[in-house]
Amino acid sequence: MGLLSLIIFLPVLGVILIALIPRLAEKTIKWLAAVFTFIPLALAFYLFFVFDRSSGSIGVMQFQENLSWIPAINSFYHVGVDGISLPLVLLMAILGFLVVLISWKVHLRVKEYFIWLLLLETSILGVFASLDLLLFFLFWEIEIVPMYFLISIWGTGRRSYSAMKYVIFTLVGSAFMLAGILALYFTTGSLNMLEITQKIGAAAAVIPLTAIFFLLIIGFAIKLPVFPLHTWLPDAHTDAPTGVSVVLAGALLKMGGYGIIRVCVSIFPDVARTWAPLFIVLAVIGIIYGAAITLRQTDLKRLIAYSSVSHMGYVLLGIFALSQVSLVGASLQMFSHGIVTGLLFAMAGLVMHNAGERDLRKLGGLAKQTPLIAVVFSLAGLASLGLPLTSGFAAEFLVFVGAFSSKVVAGIQVYTLISAIGVVLAAGYILWMIQRVFFGPALEKFNAVKDADKLEMVYMVAFVALILLVGIFPSILTNIYNMGIEPIAKFLIP
């Protein structure tokens, strides 16, 4: 088994051990989950550091494993990473381990909880590493099951409704995506993402490329999510347990953005260029609408959820500006949003757990009782609104510069300037949220609220370190992203 397969399937080994060993103590289950997420994390970091960054490796898939899987349909177990997917594999490995720490205080049906959590990690890792479309689709579908149970059993509020809404939206998108994959297979005879790129020209004679493009992008757009297909997200985020919200915001949404770049833009560059104005408009609407709706929220988790709709609009803008700089910016925005919003949800979970309240109208003055949580929450908020020297600034700056200077989409400068209003609105809702939760007069009912403990400090420090590292040295990721984006960008220039 290759290194990449170890990273993908070690969490499944943890699932097997937790499921089959009888009468495991609660603490033992959590330690097993920690071990079988920490080892993939260590291997992912190793993969990141030994990744060949030389000019001869630009656009080359590395650490490939290619084994015959279903010979009758020419399908292979084919995995590998390039400059686009490697950072996302690393992101999911980081979040997988940190979410186990975030979930340490879960006491309800602990065995089942961590089984579903580990299976969710494997499915998302598999999506980012797959180079066979059938394998990609299989991993894409697997995550629906753990997400449904994690929300419906360990969630709050209208958890059953939110879980089912997530399943329905995802399955509808998956149905369109499967139709697109079948159309590609019937017209090219291949499921290999790398081969299809060379063979796709012949497909137009059988099925219009535009039709295949839209079949595929609908599934990705729901996952990202793109306005107006976003309505599942606030409900799922609001009612999911804290750890699941971190995975959902941090990695699961990125499956949509990754799919658009890897499949839609890479395989259909001409169609992407033709329809880019439509998606630019949807991106701008998502940015402004998401930020405006966020300003009206009074539920702490729902506010952060709607902010994700706005921030994913920047990803869509960067992708369909179709310049190398904007695509790198969109990719960096996916990584940055993963760690920044992951930390925001982790901090929101701490506030809810320690103070027993999530209604912004009933919170206030918590900085006196929880100074550490207040500082880290504020830092995550400032990163979310794009404070310089944080990852959020680096990502948004690249998106705006790349979009504004794009020569592919006519009139994109106007759309870029309009989308910049989202940054102003983000400053409004982030600062308002921080002020309502932590500042103002201290409320007597919160006098006994505790600050973060030592375990919580571990994942807080890890998140903050990543945010600052990427913000101060964005080249640690942008150099790798360029290696994957450069070959794609060449096909996008008219």
- pLDDT tens for the chain, 494 residues: list them: 789 999 999 999 999 999 998 889 999 999 999 999 999 999 999 999 999 888 777 888 999 999 999 998 889 999 999 999 999 999 999 999 999 999 998 989 999 999 999 999 999 999 999 999 999 999 999 999 999 999 999 998 889 999 999 999 999 999 999 999 998 888 888 899 988 877 675 555 556 888 999 999 999 999 989 988 889 999 998 899 999 999 999 999 999 999 999 999 999 988 999 999 999 999 999 999 999 999 989 889 999 999 999 999 999 999 999 999 999 999 999 999 999 999 999 999 999 988 888 888 888 889 888 999 999 999 999 999 889 999 999 999 999 999 998 888 888 899 999 999 999 999 999 999 999 999 878 788 888 888 888 899 999 999 999 999 999 999 999 999 999 999 888 887 76
- As a whole number of angstroms, the distance between CA 216 and CA 418 comes to 28
Closest CA to 102 of 44, 166, 53, 150: 150
Say what the pTM is.
Answer: 0.94
Cβ-contact 114, 103 below 8 angstroms: yes
Please tell me the predicted confidence (pLDDT) of residue 449.
85
- As a whole number of angstroms, the distance between CA 289 and CA 307 comes to 10
Length of the chain, please?
A: 494
Query: How many C-alpha atoms does 155 have within 13 Å on its Cβ side?
Result: 24
- As a whole number of angstroms, the distance between CA 341 and CA 174 comes to 25
Please tell me the predicted confidence (pLDDT) of residue 355.
87
Got the DSSP string for 12-39?
HHHHHHHHHSTT--HHHHHHHHHHHHHH
Look at the block and give the residue holding tokens 């007069």: 441
Task: Provide the total of helices (H) and of strands (E) in the chain, helices listed first.
Answer: 22, 2
- As a whole number of angstroms, the distance between CA 396 and CA 402 comes to 10
For residue 68, list its beta bridge partners: 76
Three-state SS for 126? helix
Beta-carbon contacts of residue 39 (< 8 Å; ≥ 6 apart): 6, 10
Q: Rounded to 10 degrees, what is the CA torsion of 337, 340, 342, 346?
A: -160
